[in-house]
């Protein structure tokens, strides 16, 4: 194995990362770019589990704001993550990267159900595991899923790939010019300062289980590899 800082990682991809500029739906060309980067990291011998979001398809909260029952709206969101997972699997496998999709809601015809020990076994056998359908429960997010699965499979870190933002800032850098970037923080800092990184459930779970987080810009090619090799890009959040 090449010299890497993290040997087992959870890569959190938001739904938007699979959608491209239009920010909705699935764009196979966009997914190809992500898949190629993942393959490069895979080639280093890193064990990779991916948690995919679904914001490019649907967000339960938005449905609830328009009068839907929240849990029902959230289940639609979770199904959106499954579509993304299958698209990502398709793309990775076309690059000869072996993968398995595991869903938190059973859909045996298209994916395995989530079984922790099996997921670990896949990683040990050099397969990338894609976790879909979030936690399987409404009112949660795929960020919380990333924190949960990272704890369960003893991942060394959560790699949070952001679209166009290169770390955690004191305010939204796209809206506030005085926003400053943090190079290091703790999960407690994020909670106390109310920084918009992950939801509080995800932050507190990561804090309680000592899971570090690296937030970095996905739009710069090679960044996943840089983070895995230990380059200080983005913001590192200590466990």
**Which residue lies nearer to ligand UDP by CB, 15 or 234?**
15
d(CA 98, CA 121): 13
**Which residue lies nearer to ligand UDP by CB, 137 or 209?**
137
Q: In sequence order, which ranges of the chain are alpha helices (DSSP H)?
A: 28-43, 60-65, 70-94, 116-124, 142-152, 187-193, 200-208, 223-228
d(CA 55, CA 34): 17
CB of 88 to ligand UDP, least distance (A): 13
Q: Residue 25 annotated as binding?
A: no
Q: Residue 230 annotated as binding?
A: no
Would you count residue 103 as binding ligand UDP (CB under 6 A)?
no
Tokens representing 157 are 């870190």
Region from 50-58, 124-132, 153-161, 227-235 binding ligand UDP, contact rule CB under 6 A = 50-58
Would you count residue 74 as binding ligand UDP (CB under 6 A)?
yes
Count of Cβ atoms closer than 10 Å to residue 228 Cβ: 24
Would you count residue 102 as binding ligand UDP (CB under 6 A)?
no
CB of 224 to ligand UDP, least distance (A): 16
What one-character-per-residue DSSP string does 118-164 give? HHHHHHHTT-EEEEESTTSSTT--HHHHHHHHHHHTT-SEEEEEESS
d(CA 29, CA 11): 20
Q: Residue 136 annotated as binding?
A: yes
d(CA 150, CA 167): 20
Would you count residue 77 as binding ligand UDP (CB under 6 A)?
yes
Q: Residue 74 annotated as binding?
A: yes
Region from 120-128, 135-143, 150-158, 207-215 binding ligand UDP, contact rule CB under 6 A = 135-143
Residues in CB range of 103: below 8 A, 6 or more apart: 82, 85, 111, 112, 113, 114, 132, 133, 136
Q: How many residues bind ligand UDP (CB under 6 A)?
A: 23
**Which residue lies nearer to ligand UDP by CB, 25 or 45?**
25
Q: Residue 54 annotated as binding?
A: yes
Q: Residue 12 annotated as binding?
A: yes
Question: Which residue ranges make up the site for ligand UDP (CB under 6 A)?
Answer: 14-16, 53-55, 59-61, 74, 77-78, 80-81, 134-135, 137-138, 140-143, 145
Q: Point out the annotated binding site for UMP.
A: 54, 74, 135-142
């Amino acid at each position: 194995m090449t010299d890497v800082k993290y040997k087992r990682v959870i890569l959190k991809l938001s739904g938007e990362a699979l959608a491209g500029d239009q920010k909705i739906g699935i764009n196979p060309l966009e997914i190809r770019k992500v898949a190629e980067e993942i393959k490069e990291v895979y080639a280093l011998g890193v064990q990779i589990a991916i948690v995919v979001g679904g914001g490019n398809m649907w967000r339960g909260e938005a449905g609830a704001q328009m009068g839907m029952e929240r849990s029902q709206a959230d289940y639609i969101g979770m199904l959106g993550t499954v579509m993304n997972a299958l698209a990502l699997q398709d793309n990775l496998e076309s690059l000869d990267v072996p993968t398995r999709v595991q869903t938190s809601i059973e859909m045996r015809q298209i994916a395995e159900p989530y079984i922790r020990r099996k997921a670990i076994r896949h990683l040990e056998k050099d397969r990338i595991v894609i976790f879909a359908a979030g936690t399987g429960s409404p009112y949660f997010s795929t960020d919380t899923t990333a924190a949960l699965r990272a704890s369960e499979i003893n991942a060394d870190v959560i790699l949070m790939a952001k679209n166009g933002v290169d770390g955690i800032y004191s305010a939204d850098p796209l809206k506030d010019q005085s926003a400053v970037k943090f190079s290091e923080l703790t999960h407690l800092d994020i909670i106390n300062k109310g920084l918009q990184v992950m939801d509080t459930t995800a932050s507190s779970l990561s804090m309680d289980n000592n899971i570090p987080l690296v937030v970095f810009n996905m739009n710069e090619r090679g960044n996943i590899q840089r983070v895995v090799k230990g380059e200080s890009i983005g913001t590192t959040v200590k466990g």
